[in-house]
C-alpha cells in the first residue's frame, strides 16, 4: 500500500503520491479520534477512516496489478504474493510473538484458537487476540481474491485484455 504507479517523465517507475499520503494521514487521525478519549468531530466519523484505508488499498493494489499486466501482458501472482507477504507477515507475526511473550510472562495467555485465528487470518470471522486486526484479515482476503478475480477477467475477456469490470454486470 506504499506506492501507486504513476508515470514520471515517461518512466514506468512506481512513485509515492503525496496526495494519497495526505489521505492516509487523515484516515489515521480519524481512526485515532474514534478510538481515543476525545470529544472532537472526528470521533463521530472516525469509522470512515477504516473505509478510507480499504478504498486506498484497493486503488493502489489494483493499480499495481493493472500496470504489471499492461507492461508484461500477464500478472506474476507468485511475485505479487511474495511482495505483499514481505510487507505484511513479518511485522504481523512479530506482533503476535511479542503478544504471546508478554501474555506468557503475565500468566494471561489467550486461548490457542484465538492465536490460530490470527495466524491464518480468520480474525474477522472468529475471535482473535487483537480486536482491531479484523481489518488486516479483510485486507489479506482482498490480496488473495483480487488477483484471482483478474485472472478470471482475463481468461473470459474476448481479447484477453483487462479494460474494466462493468462488462461482468451486463444482463
Mean pLDDT, to the nearest integer, of 63-85?
A: 85
Distance CA 66, CA 110 (A): 41
Which pLDDT band holds residue 7 (cuts at 50, 70, 90)?
Answer: very low
Q: Is the pTM of this model over 0.85?
A: no
Mean pLDDT, to the nearest integer, of 75-84?
A: 86
Domain ranges (residues) in the chain: 1-72, 74-162
Q: Which residues neighbour 166 within 8 Å (Cβ) at sequence distance 6 or greater?
A: none
* E strand map for 3-162: 4-5, 14-15
Residue (of 99, 105, 104) closest to 119 by Cα position: 99
In tens, the pLDDT along 122-155 reads: 988 999 998 888 888 888 898 888 888 888 887 7
Q: Cα separations (Å) of 36 from 47, 63, 136, 171?
A: 12, 33, 20, 47
- With a cut of 60, say whether residue 10 has pLDDT above it: no
Which pLDDT band holds residue 164 (cuts at 50, 70, 90)?
Answer: low
Mean pLDDT, to the nearest integer, of 30-58?
A: 80
Mean pLDDT, to the nearest integer, of 10-15?
A: 46
Mean pLDDT, to the nearest integer, of 85-110?
A: 92
Q: Which three cell numbers stand for residue 98?
A: 511479542
- With a cut of 60, say whether residue 165 has pLDDT above it: no
Amino acid at each position: 500500500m506504499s506506492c501507486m504507479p504513476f508515470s514520471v517523465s515517461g518512466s514506468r517507475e512506481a512513485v509515492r503520491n503525496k496526495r494519497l499520503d495526505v489521505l492516509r494521514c487523515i484516515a489515521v487521525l480519524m481512526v485515532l479520534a474514534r478510538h481515543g478519549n476525545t470529544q472532537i468531530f472526528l470521533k463521530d466519523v472516525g469509522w470512515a477512516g477504516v473505509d478510507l484505508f480499504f478504498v486506498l488499498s484497493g486503488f493502489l493494489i489494483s493499480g499495481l496489478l493493472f500496470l504489471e499486466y499492461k507492461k508484461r501482458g500477464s500478472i506474476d501472482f507468485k511475485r505479487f504474493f511474495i511482495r505483499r507477504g514481505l510487507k505484511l507477515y513479518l511485522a504481523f507475526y512479530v506482533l503476535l510473538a511479542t503478544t504471546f511473550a508478554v501474555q506468557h510472562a503475565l500468566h494471561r495467555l489467550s486461548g490457542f484458537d484465538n492465536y490460530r485465528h490470527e495466524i491464518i487470518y480468520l480474525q474477522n470471522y472468529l475471535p482473535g487476540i487483537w480486536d482491531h486486526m479484523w481489518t488486516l484479515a479483510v485486507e489479506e482476503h482482498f490480496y488473495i481474491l483480487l488477483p484471482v478475480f483478474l485472472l478470471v477477467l482475463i481468461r473470459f475477456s474476448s481479447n484477453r485484455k483487462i479494460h474494466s469490470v462493468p462488462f461482468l454486470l451486463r444482463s
